[in-house]
Chains A and B, each alone.
Chain A
Amino acid sequence: MAMKTESRRILKKLVKNPTAMLGIFLLVFFIIVAILAPVLAPSEPGKDPFKMLPAKTAEGKMIWSSNPIAPDSTHPFGVIGKYDVWYGVVWGTRSAFKIGLIVSIISSIIGIIVGSISAYFGGWIDEILMRITDMFMAIPFLVAAMIMTTILGKGLDKVTIALIIFGWMQVARLIRGNILQAKEEQYVLAAKALGIRNFWIIVKHLLPNTIFPVIVQISMRMGSLVITAASLSFLGVGAEIGYADWGTLLNYARNYMMQLDKSWFAVVYPGIAMVLFVLAWNLVGDALRDIFDPKMRA
């Protein structure tokens, strides 16, 4: 019940907030692009659409020279390193959602489990789990993800694993802090007195009352996770060569670094896609944070 009215209150506030609406509008736009990818940028039938093939000329011939080709009617966003930028941007949207959703959901679940166990049981369990969390936080995120992908090898799946391994700690800390506060509330004490099992107290009573800040964090992190994944591809340790991914396109642009004036489109178009994608999540996350922040509620 409480959750339903809370959700309704949030929805009402979101609709009233113009910047949040802009964020939601952008998100819907990206979802549509991702769904319509096969229509917007048709792939070769029977082939994996995420593996980009060399672009074709207007006459249908494959392009073999790796010189960048400026945007024209057949390639609206140009061609970089033999690959069609438009195709990469459109299918890259799917890659972005895939990696962002998988990483943020799985790492949040891990974080929720670790954080709630740590806070609820306290004592030495808490101490051990929190020291492990500290340990994982002691390597800068980008550097940690880089070593992980160096060791695991190239590929978007490896990037996903690397980001999950080093991405659960903030949620764990957040949940722990919230549960520590909620633990002393009357209803939890009452549930305990009634002899309800620990597991159910956490799942039914504690989590619903502490989960909203986590939702804010997930939406704020979606953008930054996608950026980090793409930065790995940009550096050359992320997705495989030719994978439809925004960072990979920028990596091709990097090969023409000293003549970016001939390859600007490979920076500008994927760049715009990334900025808008991140902006969308940030706007929504920002609005959600203001809504949940009791200081701003008044």
Chain B
Amino acid sequence: MLAFIIRRLLILPIILIGVTLLIFSMIWMLGPERLIGTYVKSPEALKSEKAVERLIQKYGLDRPAPEMYVKWLGNVLKGDFGYSNVGRQGVLQSIMELIPYTFELALYALIPVVFVGIWLGVIAGSHQDKPLDHGIRIFAIIGWSLPDYVFGLLVLLVFYSYLKWFPPGFLSDASMKVMREGPWKDITHFVTIDAILNWRFDILWDAIRHLIAPLLTLSYLWWAYILRITRSSMLEVLRKDYVRTARAKGLSEKVVINKHVKRNALIPVATVSGGMIVQLFAGTVIVETIFARPGLGRFTATAAVTLDYFSVIGAALFFSLILIVTNLIVDISYALIDPRIRLS
């Protein structure tokens, strides 16, 4: 077990260096002429060809690639990711400011995925080929085929334009005013939790009202996915001999499913959960853009459209950090759950 964790931790720096190499080579592909535009604040500085030459030399953009990489990596390690035009401050500061919003959205999205997805999967699996199973499967396959941005726009169309239930955005103006002018203390930077801690249930309700539609959009794909995986692994486990033994002992179907089948059937669900968490974070790019919520996702999208290279690259580094850390945690906890991996 320890050897497994150590091996996994030893690979970590290699992958991290690999990612920075990959991302750096993208920066490098931009070429000095385009890169220089991200260093200067006013277009006047780039008027003459000579000025451009001088700036390229000043920032060392004409140096060989390995030298530039080392310098860039040094800056990144110091926390200097460059200036973000979208955030109107350093890239790192912008990202740090936006992370709580995105974490709040992505982490809450896990709740319906785990509960609804697994619950429906267990029902479908234990009623194989009955109408209930067919209904759930049709839901799953349609859900899995519906792109999140199409679904998000439809949600906006129905629940905002038509029913006027869930407004887009982050909070209503009134709540924003309270947060700006007080009485309000930022404690966790998660607005739902802060609202409870500040004893402002009106703001909590306001935040939830703004969260429902984005959460639905971000997570329904994964309800369908987890459902499918739970179902097929239920079917596999149900065919095992020990299940037959349990039934032969005269245990009720409910006990067989809950005590004997479910636990083993959920192991494959645990394996895909890492990928799912990462995809939920990546999905915020689309969801935050559609619902006009502040966050890392919308920051990335806006930066990409406005060609704010350093912001895009900084955001990409953060997304891959999330991916690498999540995978590490999942791998280790998976080894803890399943003894077969620990031993090999």
Contacts and interface: CB of A to CB of B under 8 A. Distances in A.
19 contacts: A131-B11, A134-B15, A138-B19, A138-B323, A142-B285, A147-B26, A148-B26, A149-B304, A231-B148, A236-B305, A254-B153, A254-B290, A260-B160, A267-B153, A271-B150, A271-B154, A274-B150, A282-B141, A283-B141
B123 interface: no
Contact of A138 (B286, B312, B320): B320
B145 A279 contact: yes
B281 interface: yes
Interface of A: 19, 131-132, 134-136, 138-144, 146-151, 223, 227, 230-231, 234-237, 250, 253-254, 257-261, 264, 267-268, 270-271, 274-275, 278-279, 282-283, 286, 295
Q: How large is the interface on B (under 10, 10 to 19, 20 to 34, 35 or more residues)?
A: 35 or more
A258 B30 CA distance: 36
B156 A257 contact: yes
B30, B148, B285 — most chain A CB neighbours (10 Å):
B285
Contacts of B281: 140
Interface in B1-43: 11, 14-15, 18-19, 21-23, 26, 29-30
A136 B145 contact: no
The prevalent SS among residues of B at the interface is helix
B147 A138 contact: no
Contact of B18 (A138, A146, A234): A138
Given A235-B305, A286-B141, A146 B300 contact: yes
Interface of B: 11, 14-15, 18-19, 21-23, 26, 29-30, 141-142, 144-150, 153-154, 156-157, 160-162, 168, 236, 278-279, 281-283, 285-286, 289-290, 292, 300-301, 303-305, 307, 309, 312-313, 315-316, 319-320, 323-324
Nearest to B285: A142
A264 B150 CA distance: 11
A267 B154 contact: yes
A139 B19 contact: yes
A275 B319 contact: no
B316 A139 contact: yes
Contacts of A230: 147
Given A142-B282, A250-B149, A151 B30 contact: yes
B289 A235 contact: yes
A75 to B, nearest CB: 20
A199 B289 CA distance: 49
Residue picked from B153, B307, B320, most chain A C-beta under 10 Å: B153
A267 B313 CA distance: 31
A53 to B, nearest CB: 24
B153 A139 contact: no
Contact of A267 (B21, B157, B303, B305): B157
A279 B141 contact: yes
Q: Which 3 A-B pairs have the closest CB atoms?
A: A135-B18, A140-B282, A271-B150
Contacts of B303: 150
Contacts of B157: 260-261, 264, 267
Nearest to A283: B141
B153 A271 contact: yes
Given A140-B282, A141-B282, A146 B312 contact: yes
B326 to A, nearest CB: 10
B149 to A, nearest CB: 5
Contacts of A267: 150, 153-154, 157
B282 A260 contact: no
Contacts of B320: 138-140, 143
Nearest to B317: A139
A141 B319 CA distance: 10
B113 to A, nearest CB: 17
Contacts of A282: 141, 144-145
Contacts of A136: 22
